Amino acid sequence: MKKRIIALLFLLLLLPGILFFAARSLPPVYQDSYYAELPALVRRMDEARGRRLILIGGSSVAFGIDVALLETYLREKGFEYTVCPLGLYAAVGTSAMLSLSESALREGDTVVLALEPAADALTAYFGATAFLKCAESDPSLFWRLGRDQQARVIGNAVPFLQEKYALVRSGQLPKAEGVYAKAAFDENCNMAYPREGNILALGYDTGSPIALSGLAIDPSFAAQINAYCKSASKKGASVFMSFSPMNKSAVTGDANDYFTLCNETFDCPVISNPLDYILDSGWFYDSNFHLNTAGAHMRTWLLARDILAQLGCYAPLEDELPVMPAPVAAEVQAAADSGDFVFEAAENGRAYVIAGLTEQGKGKETLLLPSSYLDQPVAAVRGDALKEASRLMELHVPQSIASLPDGLLDGCASLRRLVLEHTSAPCGISAHSLDGLKDLQILVPAEAYPWYLDGYGCEENPWQAYRNQIFSF
């Protein structure tokens, strides 16, 4: 009996190596993707000499910090730091960033937490599958995780291998281009991809509102943060909390509520005023937390000021701040028949929103949502716009409509075909948006098909649950 137990323990110890060896035996899939930057972030932190400024958070760190500029601001005031950004993916989770950095902390380090005020970002959420994609080129990252996280990686390894094998066999590998590619970062782990302005037609992502009142912090996540602060203190490192940038157009509630929540929950000083980080939509790029290049400059200036004040330096930063860029104009395409729909002007005056159906539209079995109306783009559809489309069997969604809101298809029990025409990024949905539509076929362009299978951007893949219903055209 004792020999069996020893043999079992031996196998359990070998299992991570076996699984990672199996993963490495398949051709690389993610080496050029945004995922692949995580090993580089950790390597920069490990190899940096002298004092380090480690920035921990989600993708708002990658999109919102100019690494070289922050080092320059600090150096000009007499503080020599290597800035180490450690934020990349909400799909991996902030909890993983804490685990990856904790063992590497040393005397003289300064850690700044910049957590997005979103449900998953304030929990101990850990995306094991996303981590496996990140660790494809460096499996040793596994050993820096906590035990619970390691167990989840092992538990998700076989499905991950099956998914990777299916991608390799299909020949439809994830696309790595533009801002969501490893090539978007320079050798200093700074996002160098040019982001000229806000590309969101409405100026903000309507599907991801930022509600600052009523937020809750998961107790297990609070415990991890506070244990991290205690561990850092023992090593002679300091931990502070700042805030992620927030798109003003998406924010509701009182920022003071969020400040109070963080201040009372975490055992580290809050060094920033959240109101300073609620920025006009013109500073953002493609989400409510991702900044464009000028916005990253502005946020870096704000963070440098707050860090320097904490270090006892209150002298103003000598820098000419950028002018907020104009929004990137959406391309207006030829529209489908607009006689089926009721429109309302968007708040920014630069687009239209589908608000409902006309009597003609209510009786249609096929609807083509238009991409433009009165020579302006149609950028969104209200969640109740199709509530009377009981006969609808086929729905076409143009690329101009970036996401489908919650409840849009609740009244469409007859729907059998959902045609998504998006080619530059997948159409967005919320979790469970298509639940109940088991006979639904989801048709997507062939060039976008890998995104729907594997995910896109910095979030969990919302289409994962519907993979067996997705077909390319």
Domains and CATH numbers, the chain: 15-310 (3.40.50.1110), 341-472 (3.80.10.10)
> Based on C-alpha coordinates, what's the Rg of the chain?
24
pLDDT per 10-residue tile (average), the chain, 473 residues: 54 54 73 93 96 96 97 97 94 94 96 91 92 93 96 92 83 81 95 95 87 93 97 97 97 94 95 97 96 98 97 92 90 72 89 94 94 90 92 94 89 94 88 83 91 79 87 90
Angstrom distance (rounded) from CA 473 to CA 471: 7
For 379, the 3-state DSSP assignment is strand
> Beta strand pairing status for 352-357 and 376-381?
parallel
Tell whether pTM > 0.75.
Answer: yes
Q: Which residues of 133-147 are buried (b: 16+ CB within 10 A; e: fewer)?
A: bbbbbebebbebbbe
Cβ pair 425, 457 in contact under 8 A: yes
Q: Which residues contact 454 (CB under 8 A, 6 or more apart)?
A: 163, 167, 174, 461
Residue 89 token pair: 């993916």
Residue 11's pLDDT is: 46
Q: Which residues of 208-217 are buried (b: 16+ CB within 10 A; e: fewer)?
A: bebebeebeb
Angstrom distance (rounded) from CA 355 to CA 379: 11
Residue 336's pLDDT is: 61
Residue 79's pLDDT is: 97
Angstrom distance (rounded) from CA 365 to CA 417: 11
Residue 120's pLDDT is: 78
Angstrom distance (rounded) from CA 160 to CA 219: 29
Pick from 348, 359, 396, 353: nearest CA to 377:
353
Residue 414 token pair: 């007859």
Q: Which residues contact 468 (CB under 8 A, 6 or more apart)?
A: none
Cβ pair 353, 408 in contact under 8 A: no
Name the E strands within 398-445. Answer: 417-420, 441-444
Q: How far does CA 362 lie from the centroid of its chain? A: 36
Angstrom distance (rounded) from CA 114 to CA 61: 8
